[in-house]
Amino acid sequence: MGLSNVSEGGRAPFWHHRWVQLAIGIVCMGLVANLQYAWTLFVVPMDNAHHWGQAAIQTAFTIFIVTETWLVPVEGWLVDKFGPRPVVIGGALCAAIGWVINAHATSLSHLYVAAVIAGIGAGCVYGTCVGMALKWFPDKRGLAAGLTAAGFGAGAAVTVIPIANMIQRSGYEHAFMFFGIFQGVCILLLATMLVRPKPPASAIPAKRIVASRIDYKSGEMIRSPLFWVLYLMFVFVAAGGIIATAQLGPIAKEYGFAKLPVNLIGITLPLLTMTLSIDNLCNGLTRPLCGFLSDRIGRENTMFMIFLGEGVALLGLMQFGHNPYAFMFFAAAVFLCWGEIFSIFPATCADTFGSKHAAANAGTLYTAKGTAAMLVPVASLLSANGGWSTVFISAAVISIAAAICAKFVLAPMRKRWIENSGAPAGVTIVEARLQQWPGGSSE
């Protein structure tokens, strides 16, 4: 049976069921995703209106990403302490205010302030939804985290066309205002239905995932070498994917086929547009798929296979990428083999360091995304000095290194950690969680 919150007086409202809670989190993630994925639609119209320069405008995007990523540990700590509802309500308000400021911005400083506020909002929603998925689903952490992370891309896929049409029809200011307020209000309303999980009323079928009996705080977690092994692996795989995907446009342009019309299943688009569309689909699909797989065969086994696949895909892109269709295929494979880090790593973190502080702990690990993004300029230097082959080989090497590390370093370290945490050897994740559930009351 599934977990659900049951009030003392009888059955709780239907939205207290864990699958409904997961669905609410996924929708919230989809609504906040436009702060990141729809930004590119506004850059040129803003530059045409104010002549600030696209590079200066894009600095706001960098500020947003850094704020959204590096504040997640703090926001996760707030979730663990006060529950999901107030944090997501705060995130909804910040998300709306950020875009409203963008709509009225008359200087770059306004734009940068808006980026900070929107980044706080996105981090509040992202950190809360992933953290609560980990807590509600101790038996299906990979799948739950994967579905939640997939929502972050799916929302943009649904609304990107309406946003683009509104910019064309009514101007970018109106689009910022309308969608900022619309998304903020929707997230706020959904936030009122978020609750903490209570201890399960009955046992859940056990899975072959071991977990710590002890709930470690973030300060305790970061003092362990095991955490830094996880962190370094996250950086390696994220860097390999981010570096390669950030350069797809320049590579396709240099190869001379960025605007080449290609036909796939009856749809004709410029090659780069088609490639990015397929890549985003793969990026969303892999998160729940690999999360589900890791619930079945184990975290490290899944990491080994998928990280190795990313290395092979990067080498394939280097070797065969001059062929337009091979370029599309291997680029999609890269996305398929690195997007899953946003489901596997949070699940592994909660398995290893416990559920009670899962939001703060997963948020701390999530900062590895920001660290990896800082390595992107390195790719430009490598390409300038050694060509794209140097970029692909470097990215492939660190991805394969992460695969080997997962199997032969992380796996034995985690096994020893679990045994030393007080859980009997072989204890299942559900048995461990039933002994010490994160607890909390409905809010």
In this predicted model, which residue has the larger pLDDT, 358 or 23?
23
Class of domain 218-435: mainly alpha
Two domains, one topology: 14-191 and 218-435: yes
pLDDT tens by residue, 75-130? 888 888 888 999 999 999 999 999 999 999 999 999 999 999 999 999 999 989 99
Class of domain 14-191: mainly alpha
Query: What tokens appear for 428 in the block?
Result: 């299942």
For residue 11, is pLDDT > 80?
A: no
Name the nearest CA neighbour of 95 among 159, 186, 162: 186
Question: What average pLDDT does this structure show over 60-70?
Answer: 86
pLDDT tens by residue, 403-440? 999 999 999 999 899 888 754 444 444 444 434 433 33
For residue 230, is pLDDT > 90?
A: yes
Between CA 112 and CA 46 the distance in angstroms is 14
Between CA 414 and CA 235 the distance in angstroms is 19
For residue 202, is pLDDT > 50?
A: no
Kindly give, in sequence order, each residue whose CB lies less than 8 Å from that of residue 442, ignoring residues fewer than 6 positions away: 5, 7, 12, 16, 195, 196, 198
Tell me, what's the pLDDT at 437? Answer: 39
Q: What pTM was estimated for this model as a whole? A: 0.78
Long-range CB pairs of 289-292, under 8 A, 24+ apart, other chains included? 289/146, 289/340, 290/142, 290/146, 290/340, 290/343, 290/344, 291/141, 291/142, 291/143, 291/144, 291/145, 291/146, 291/147, 291/340, 291/343, 291/344, 291/347, 292/140, 292/142, 292/143, 292/146
Between CA 214 and CA 237 the distance in angstroms is 28
Cross-strand bridge partners of residue 4: 17
In this predicted model, which residue has the larger pLDDT, 101 or 135?
101
Query: What tokens appear for 315 in the block?
Result: 């080498």
Domain ranges of the chain: 14-191, 218-435
Angular region, 439: left φ>0, alpha ψ -120 to 50, beta rest: left
Q: Are 229 and 410 in contact (CB under 8 A)?
A: yes
HSE value, Cβ hemisphere, 13 Å, CA-based, for 364: 20
Kindly give, in sequence order, each residue whose CB lies less than 8 Å from that of residue 436, ignoring residues fewer than 6 positions away: 213, 214, 215, 354, 356
